[in-house]
Amino acid sequence: MPKLPAEFADLEKYADWCLATEPERYAKRLASSMDEMQEFYDAAMPRLDDACAFGDKFPLDDLPDDVRALVHLMQSLVMVSFPVEVWKQPRVPDSGAAWADLIREPVV
pLDDT digits 0-9 by tens, 48-68: 999 999 999 999 999 999 999
Residue 11 lies in a domain: no
pTM score, whole prediction: 0.83
67 neighbors 8 (Cβ within 8 angstroms) = no
Rounded Cα gap, residues 91 and 87, in angstroms: 8
The pLDDT value given to residue 1: 72
- Domain region containing 29: 21-87
Residue 9 lies in a domain: no
- Going by the DSSP 8-state scheme, the letter that residue 80 receives in this structure is H
Residue 55 lies in a domain: yes
Domain count within the chain? 1
Residue 96 lies in a domain: no
- Three-state DSSP at 79 gives helix
The pLDDT value given to residue 2: 78
DSSP assignment of 1-59 equals: ---S-GGGGGGGGGGGG--SSHHHHHHHHHHS-HHHHHHHHHHHGGGHHHHHHHHTTS-
Residue 74 lies in a domain: yes
Residue 56 lies in a domain: yes
Residue 101 lies in a domain: no
Residue 33 lies in a domain: yes
Rounded Cα gap, residues 43 and 20, in angstroms: 20
User: Of 42, 45, 65, which Cα lies nearest the Cα of 55?
Assistant: 65
